[in-house]
Each structure stands twice: as C-alpha cells, then as structure tokens.
Amino acid sequence: MGLVAVALFGYAVSHRHGVGRPPDEPPAIDVAARDGPRLGSGPRLSGRVGLGPPGLRLLVDRAEPRVVDVHTLAVTPVPGLQLPPGQPARVVQLGRGRLAAVAPLYGRHGGTYLVRPGRPPKLLRGVGMVVPGRDGTLVVAVSRLGASTVTGFDAAHRVRWQWSRRGTVDPLRDTPAGLVVASYRTATVAYPQLQVVDRRTGTVRRRLGEARRALAVDDRSVAWLPARCGLDCPLVRTELAVGTTRGYRLPERRVPAAAAFAPDGRHLALSFPGVPVSTRPWAKPGFVAVLDVRTGALTRVAGLSTPASQHVDVTWSADGRWLVLGVSWPEQELIALWRPNSRLVIVPLALPGGPATARLTALY
C-alpha cells in the first residue's frame, strides 16, 4: 500500500500501447497525490491494478472523444466521426454502432454542429442539446432569442417532427412514458420544471416538480434534487409512468454532483464532491455510494476519496455488473471498476484530461 501516483502513472504511460494479462494476484496499490495524502492535494484510490472484463468499452468525451477498452487497454478515436484532433464534443449513442456528436467549431464557419457518420455536419443555430429518440429520430433542442425549438431528425437529417416553446427546453431522455425535459420559462428563472412531454408535439403529460438539479434519468424514473430545500436536501426519485415519488435522506447533509442508474433501475450510483473548509467548519473528502432504491440502503465504495469540490464521474457497464469510476488528477484521469464485496480494480491506463474535462459512458 505504499506506492504513490507517480509509480502508477509511469507504469501506465510505458505500457499503454499493449499490456499483457496481469498476474493472477496483482499487487495492491494506494494511489495518492504526489505531495502526500493531504485532503485537497488530489484523489486517493486503494485497490489492485488489473484489467477490466472482456468487452467493456467506454466512450470518453467532452475534451476529446475516444473509446477505451478496459480489457485490452486500447484507446482509439470514436469510429465514424470525422472530428479534428483535440476537438471537444459531446457524443450520444443512437443504438448499437450508431453515434452522433454535438461539436463547437471555431473560425470563419464557427458554430455548434451536429456530426453524424457519413453525413455532412449540420449547423445548429443556437445552443444545441441532443438525445436519442425512441422512434428512430435524433432529438435536438436549440434555444435562441428566448424560445426553444425541439426537432426530431431521421438518419438522413430530414425533419420528422418539430415543435417550439417559449423559454429554454433541455431534453434529458426519451422514455416509454415520453420525453423527459427540464423546462425554464425564461432566461432569468433559476430552476427548471421537470416534465414528461409528448416527443412529437411538446404537450405536457406530467409535471414532476421544480428541480435544483436532475441527477439521472432512465426509462423508468428520474432522480432529482428539489429546488429551495437548503443543505438538508433529500434525493427524490419519481416513477415516470405513474408519478409516484419517494424521497431519500442523504448522508451528512451532502449533495451529490453526479449520479447514474444501473441498467436494471434498482441501484443508483451517487458521486459526492469533497467539501472545502470555506463552506463547513471542517473539510470532508468526496466519495461514491450506491443507493438501493427499494430499501434505501446506501453502500459506500471503499478505497476512494476526492479532494474539495471535486467528484468522480460514474457510469455502469451494460450488464450492470460493474460500476465504472472516472477519477481525475489535474492533468490525467484514471479509470477504476467496482462491484459489491470486492476491492477496486484500478485500470493501468492514464488518460489525458482533468477535473470536469471527461465523461464516461459504457458502449453497448
């Protein structure tokens, strides 16, 4: 347990282009910031170095989209998307093998573009948000001049349907119950109303409540924090089809910065940032915990902590067996894997990046 980050990073950089299978019992490792384990100096990971399961591939986007195979350690560009090196973009999955990206391009023809394999980039005149549509469309919301237009594009970029509304509409997920959106009435409204709307017409089917933040949405429910509830803010989970709501008290009056539902919807991973001294009488490290939505039981991920104001990115493998953690240092990011009653598996691969520069999504 005495190794520090520089040792792991040196191993990762020297082996990132081809690593043999690690020994049956890989060594335990304690990864801390180079200048020591003080809170605020960097994240800490305690676990074993090893490869992930075969077939688990992660889409890493925002700063520079790429695909990471945690079993072979291959790092490759996103297939089919002709993005310049270093180009930031948000990539969404439209189904198996189908991807699209929203990318800000600069220069004489600058703007926000929708990029799809085999199609010329399409200029979005305004801030664009994109989610996959259940009816085979790509749902794109563009906000401009105090109003939002939500469009369903087919595979050939043709408009299948379209509707507009005053204010800002951010689509979160297209579900069997309808399109879940965060709707801001005006640009000065601080908190959105979460709604389930008809994807083709924008007609409101269900109003869920005013949210401080929507944390995670799957096909069954949405996890969110209510607006104006102070430090002791409960986590709320609302079933989309029937509107049934349940609240969960959070540990230590902490507020999660990110969350992800497991594929079966029964567990919710919550990522809590570290608390700086300036906001509390004492500093507290950040952590990740998994909530059982049926019982309310919360299980902390052992061997992980983050410094003040920093949290871990969380996602799940497609089969739900592994929780995937993206842990950032100032200029690099590590990937760790967790499952109940097991030590963290630290993947021996250092990716370029840093806090808030990468987002992990499991490819299927």
pLDDT tens per residue across span 215-245 = 999 999 999 999 988 767 899 999 999 999 9
Which token pair is 108?
């004489």
pLDDT of residue 24: 40
**Number of residues assigned to the chain:** 364
Domain ranges for the chain, please list them: 5-362
What is the model's pLDDT at position 189? 81
d(CA 316, CA 334): 16
- Assess contact for 47 and 323: CB atoms under 8 A: no
Angle at 209 between CA 206 and CA 213, to 5 degrees: 120
pLDDT reported for residue 79: 87
* C-alpha torsion angle, residues 174, 208, 315, 40 (rounded to 10): 140
- Tens of pLDDT, residue by residue over 59-108, are 998 888 999 999 999 999 888 888 888 888 999 888 776 888 989 877 66
pTM of the model: 0.86
CATH number belonging to domain 5-362: 2.130.10.10
Strand 44-49 and strand 344-346: the pairing is parallel
Report which DSSP code applies to 48.
E
Grouping H, G, I as helix, E, B as strand and the rest as coil, residue 251 is helix
Question: Is residue 170 within 8 Å of residue 182, measured between CB atoms?
Answer: yes
Q: How far is CA 143 from CA 151, 173, 186, in A?
A: 12, 17, 11
Low-confidence ranges of the chain (pLDDT < 70): 1-41, 97, 107-109, 231, 277-282, 354-357
Per-residue confidence (pLDDT) for residue 97, from 0 to 100: 66
